Amino acid sequence: MSDTLNSKSVNGWNLFWLITAPVSVAMIIATAATDLTSGEGVSSLIQLSVRCAVPLLYVTFAASSVQALFPGNAGRWLLRNRKYIGLCFAAAMAWQGFFILWLVTIHSEYYMQQVYVLRDAIEGVVGYLFLTAMTITSFRPARQRMKQKTWRLLHLSGIYFLWAYAFSVYWWALFYYSNPVPLDYVYYWAGFLAWVLRAAAWNRKRRRIAATSVPQSGMQPALNVLGITVVALGFVAASTGSLWYGTAEKWLSGYAFTHIPETYLPYWPFEPWLPLAIIALGMLLATKVRA
């Protein structure tokens, strides 16, 4: 396994082309087989390009956490190639951007009547701005002109925004719309797992800091049990969104002061991430120490 992961053929730019070339060929074949004279046809290509891109995003998002939790050859390979997998994601999203422009310019009436929502448009534009900036600054000339903290803030904010975009799409597909396909379940739980890995890595880091900075007597068993219980509730909520979505929507929207965020703020009112916030709170409680 180690020899395979260290092979030049699956590292660096070779890996980029190994992934990007088949994706591009698949998109070209799909384009040739699709009726581009209809808005529905172009929309199907947008959906296909996203399905090709999302797994690459999730792998990039979780790469550092895999190595932190399960150090080894696979984790080192992911970290070594995180940049190139991220660029593969950018290449796949370039196909989506192309088809979106096609839809907006050629089938503008269909776009305005069937697709356009102001908040979703803002969400998409911000996502592409992040993706473009992250792609440019992945290369040495641009990166060297940035402070390390600025570069890290850009890439951390960007990867979370892009992950949140993809994760929310499949949350809505499962728990709001009535006709999810099996792949929607796969992508939702894959996105959830990617976040859980990051949360678990953060939790392990907090536990290590607590273990080295305070005596074991400083840990709080009661809060530890409470935290684990809250985490379990978060997992239940993540699995049952259709049961509580209507209540959450009622309590979190429809007020005069929420009119602006409901119109302009991406992801508002954040229903897909309420279970994740519960899990994060539980992890925080479980790693709480006495002052």
What's the confidence (pLDDT) of residue 56?
97
The model's pLDDT over 25-43, given as tens digits with 9 standing for 90+, comes to 999 999 999 999 999 999 9
Say if pTM beats, i.e. exceeds, 0.85: yes
The model's pLDDT over 227-253, given as tens digits with 9 standing for 90+, comes to 899 999 999 999 999 999 989 888 988
Kindly state whether residues 166 and 33 are assigned to the same domain: yes
Percentage, residues of the chain above pLDDT 90:
71
- Three-state secondary structure of 147-175: CHHHHHHHHHHHHHHHHHHHHHHHHHHHH
* Residue 207 included in any domain: no
The total of structural domains in the chain comes to 2
What's the confidence (pLDDT) of residue 214?
58
Kindly state whether residues 146 and 254 are assigned to the same domain: no
Host domain of residue 62: 2-181
Distance CA 245, CA 249 (A): 6
Kindly state whether residues 77 and 155 are assigned to the same domain: yes
Distance CA 93, CA 96 (A): 5
Kindly state whether residues 145 and 236 are assigned to the same domain: no
* Residue 171 included in any domain: yes
Please list the pLDDT of the chain residue by residue as tens digits (291 residues): 677 888 999 999 999 999 999 999 999 999 999 999 999 999 999 999 999 999 999 999 999 999 999 999 999 999 999 999 999 999 999 999 999 999 999 999 999 988 888 888 999 999 999 999 999 999 999 999 999 999 999 999 999 999 999 999 999 999 988 788 999 999 999 999 999 999 999 888 877 876 676 555 555 778 888 989 999 999 999 999 999 998 988 898 888 888 898 888 888 889 999 999 999 999 888 877 554
Looking at 181, 202, 229, the residue that finishes a domain is 181
Looking at 159, 181, 203, the residue that finishes a domain is 181
Kindly state whether residues 177 and 218 are assigned to the same domain: no
Residue of 200, 210, 83, 75 whose CA lies nearest to 140:
83
Kindly state whether residues 58 and 170 are assigned to the same domain: yes
Kindly state whether residues 175 and 218 are assigned to the same domain: no
Kindly state whether residues 138 and 230 are assigned to the same domain: no
The model's pLDDT over 63-88, given as tens digits with 9 standing for 90+, comes to 999 999 999 999 999 999 999 999 99
What's the confidence (pLDDT) of residue 216?
52
What's the confidence (pLDDT) of residue 208?
80
